[in-house]
Each structure stands twice: as structure tokens, then as C-alpha cells.
Amino acid sequence: MTSIRPYLRSATVAAGLALALAAPLTPALAGEAVPPSSAHPAPEPQQQRPRNVLLIIADDLAPRLGTYGAPVRTPNIDAFARSGVQFQRAYTQFPWCGPSRASFLTGTRPDTTRVMDLNTPFRRALPDIRTLPEYFRTNGYFTGRIGKIFHQGVPNDIGTGGPDDPPSWTTVVNPRGRDRDAEDGKLKNNTPGIPYGSAMAWLDDDGADAEQTDGKVASAAIDMLRANAGKDRPFFIAVGFYRPHVPLVAPKKYFAPYPVGKMKIAAETPASLAAVPDYTKAWKPDNFGMSARQQQEIVRAYSASTSFMDAQVGRVLAELKRLGRDKDTVVVFTSDHGYLLGEHGQWMKNILWDEADRVPLIIRAPGVTAANARSPRTVEMLDLYPTLTELAGLPHYQRNEGRSLVPLLRQPAAKWDHAALTQIRGGRSVRTERWRYTEWEEGRLGAELYDHDADPKEHSNLAADPRYASVVAELKAKLPKGPVERRTPPLNYDPVHACLAGFPGAARPAGGAAPAAGGGEGGGGLKACERLDP
């Protein structure tokens, strides 16, 4: 095991950092000006010990937060965003829980991890990779996990470690709350027959915050902070909340601010839905066949679950401050991927629309970031690993495939010519500040080009327009080289018979092996459609 690095930084490093911090900021893009207070970060104090790290990950959370302009009550995350740098264009490398977490926690792309489903362990392809927490652990840090950090099937794996990575952690805690048992006849399910880990199911629960799994996650995180705050050994504590992953369970009080009749659903029309090719979809039929009222119920439950999760984040951040460790702890708030709420007729994730691929990303690094700063630059989840090691003063891990965001933490509008790459089976997408370009099976099925300056909802595909041929060529060159898998067809839900055709495991042959324990989409509730006689 690598020995603990020295706590005091060299005078040469300190002097170089002081010069870097004194450099002037590049002006922000028009319309996205960085507030004046972000122009001159305070000089970094000499560290008597390495910076701690508090990594907070929500599950299935798109940037549908107050601080990102969404009509959702998230006062704690909003306040945290005002204390650091909020990235406006942060993207996952694979918009699905297992592949995304395997990617950013190993610092490598999905083509490297070879994880493109919810069951493949990343150590099958990367047996000796050092994960982000493991790298800190081998450099002398206490590393603790509470809740969902690596993939867990929800709700099945709640209360267990799921397919965790033991070398990454000093200590783990697996809370389980009353929401885990809500599927026992309590859930209100708008898509019966789909497993609970994907179903549009929800519950305005009678239980208190502290009885829910996320309430217990926050309480365990507070206990872990208290146990480590006074020690000389630095800590890396990862706190994984389960909401707003379905089933969307939260105490009743969090539903009250969201009257169901006032919930806005995606502004799609029959014409816009008819223009969406099947190969871009994860599910059929559009909107699972839900009525407008049912869609409003899910938007409401997603908002309520987000507000509940926000309250638990606030408890953890308040305790960090009470302990006085906010002054020497890097805090990151993010999610594993985005989430569709009816845009293009799709719900959830595992698709290459912007709402599924974009994530919230907020970072506060004492002595480096300034308050009220927003970065308009396009960044990747992959960039978290090298960012945190640099902020902690650790050597760069050579197997990282991302880039450190420290230059943008110091100067949020600094020049940054890097695009974000996102992929799913059969699809590859590149996102810049203005454009999204996507190819399906290397263009054999089709291609898409969207101008986000004029078409932020991605309704007007310009890929075949000869006026944009040069843009297509430029973005095409940014896509990763190499073979692309065949596109997986969308899953088919039958809302009339409340059953699902084509779901993995739905039609397992008699005597076939059961799925591996842990992971997967999670939850019971599956009803497979029986084959009808002709």
C-alpha cells in the first residue's frame, strides 16, 4: 500500500498555485456572465493536512433543480450552488446507472470498462484498476460509503451492498428504510407489469423523513463525519442517495407544494412524436400509454422525491459546517445521469437525448472556488477523478481518461475546447456548447444534429441538411473510433394488458439460470406478456 503523502506542500507548489490564482479571468460568454464575486478567488491557505472529500451522488437526477431554473423546491442544493461552481453543461458518459458509475468511478470510458448493462462487473475488464475511492484509500485516506455509490438495483438492493467494490472502502453502511417495503401493495403504479425499478410507480408516504432510506443515509453520513472530523487522517466520504429513482416514494409533506393539476408535462405534439425514429427510443409506446393526468402524477412525484432528497443533503452539509470541516473539505454534488419526463415521448434514461445525458454538477473547493460561480463549459463526469486527485494534491493517476476541472474551478469561463462524449448500445453522441451530434450504428441507422442555440429541445434534426455538412464533419471527427454495437430495439409495454415484452429475464427458458444476485434494474412487479396464438 502506498504510504501517506506528506501533509505540508512544498514551497514551490504553493508559489506556483498562488501565481495561478492571481491570473485574471477570461470574460464569460454573452448571456452567461460569471458574477463579479467569482472573479477573484481567495488565496489558498497553506494546508496542514490534505483536503477531505465529501462526494454526494443523487440517483437518476437530471438538473431539474431550482438552481438550474427548474420549478422544483431545492433550497439546500441551491444554497450549496451559491457557495461554489455550478457547471451548466456536465454530461454522463453512459446514461444508465451501472455503466455511468463504473465509468466515472474508474476514470475510464465505457469502451474501456466494457460495462454497458447493469450486471457486468467493471473488474472483469479492469481487474487491477484503482477506483476513485480506492486511489484515495491507498494514499492514506479513510474512505467510507453510505448508500448507493457503485451500482445497486433499486429497490431490490436497498439495505445491501449490491455489487459493490470492497477494495474501495474502509467502511460501508447500507441503510434500509420503510420505502423499501412500499412495493408490498402500497405503491400507486401507473405502469403495472413493468418491474418496480423502471415502473412509473410512486407513493406519498405517511412515514417521517428519518424512516425513509434517504433519511437514514443522511443520518449515517452525519455519524461518519462526526467519527472522522477530529482525526488527523483525511477522509473521503461518499454519500449515495436513492431518490429520485423510481419508485418515487417520499413523505406526504413533500408532495404538498406540487398540486397535480398544475404540473407541466413535456410540450410534445402528435407531429413531434411521430417524427421520433424508433432507434432513438428506449420504450414503446410513447409515454407508456399514460394519460396526461398520469404523466402529471409522475412529474409531481419526481419533484417531491427531489425535494425530499434535497432536505437530506441539507442535513449532511449543515453537519459538515457545524464540525468546522467545510473549510478544508472539497464537496461535490452530482448525479449518475439525467432523466426524461416525457420529452420525445420517453421516460427515464438509457437514451441519447439531452435530458437523459445532462447531469447537475456543483463543486466547492476551499481556497480554489469562489461563491456564485457558473461555468458554461462542456464537461464530463469522467473529469471528476482527476479533478479530485489534483485538489487533494495527489499524483495524477495515469489511467484516467478525463481531464481535471481545476482550471475551470479557478476561472469558470476559461477557454476549454473539449467536447463531451456519451454513448449507449448502438449509439454515440458528442456534445459541444452549441451542438449535439449523434450517430446510430455508425450512421447506418441514422444520424442527428441539433443546434442548441436555436433548438434546445432537440426537435429539428439538421444532420441531412447540406448547409450543415461542415458542422457534421467536424463533430463526426470527435466521435471515438472503433466498432459500435448493434442497436437494441426499444422495449414494448402493453398498457391494455399491463404486461411487458422483451424485458431481460422476462422470457427466461425453463430451467435457465437465475440472474446474478445484486445489480440489475431492481424490484419485482414484472408481468411478461404471454405469446398469443396466431
Query: CA–CA separation, 283 vs 104, rounded Å?
Result: 26
Helices (H), 186-280: 213-229, 270-274
Q: Which of 40, 151, 337, 499 is catalytic?
A: 151
Instruction: Tell me which residue of 221, 255, 259 sits closest to 54, measured CA to CA.
Output: 221
Q: What is the CA radius of gyration of the chain?
A: 23
Beta carbons within 10 angstroms of residue 21's beta carbon: 16
Query: CA–CA separation, 78 vs 65, rounded Å?
Result: 8
Contact predicate 416/408, CB 8 Å: yes
The enclosing H or E element of 457 equals: none
Instruction: Tell me which residue of 89, 79, 179, 282 sits closest to 522, measured CA to CA.
Output: 179
Query: CA–CA separation, 59 vs 107, rounded Å?
Result: 19
Residue 499 bears catalytic tag = no
Query: CA–CA separation, 162 vs 177, rounded Å?
Result: 16
Contact predicate 227/278, CB 8 Å: no
Q: Which amino acid would we find at residue 85?
A: V
Beta bridge partners of 335: 58
Reduce the DSSP state of residue 512 to 3 states and report it: coil
Buried b (16+ CB within 10 A) or exposed e, 54-67: bbbbbbbbbbbbbb
Q: Which residue has the cell 493517476?
A: 397
Beta bridge partners of 379: 90
Instruction: Tell me which residue of 26, 77, 111 sits closest to 482, measured CA to CA.
Output: 111
Beta carbons within 10 angstroms of residue 12's beta carbon: 8
Sheet with 491-494: strands ordered across: 283-284, 491-494, 499-501
The enclosing H or E element of 351 equals: none
Instruction: Tell me which residue of 136, 316, 324, 313 sits closest to 221, measured CA to CA.
Output: 316
What is the separation of C-alpha 487 from the centre of its chain, rounded to a whole number of angstroms? 23
Q: Quote the Cα angle for 460-420-72, to 5°.
A: 70
DSSP conformational letter for 389:
H
Helices (H), 23-88: 75-81
Q: Which of 97, 245, 344, 499 is catalytic?
A: 97
Instruction: Tell me which residue of 56, 55, 81, 59 sits closest to 68, measured CA to CA.
Output: 81
Beta bridge partners of 361: 87, 334
Known catalytic residues are: 97, 151
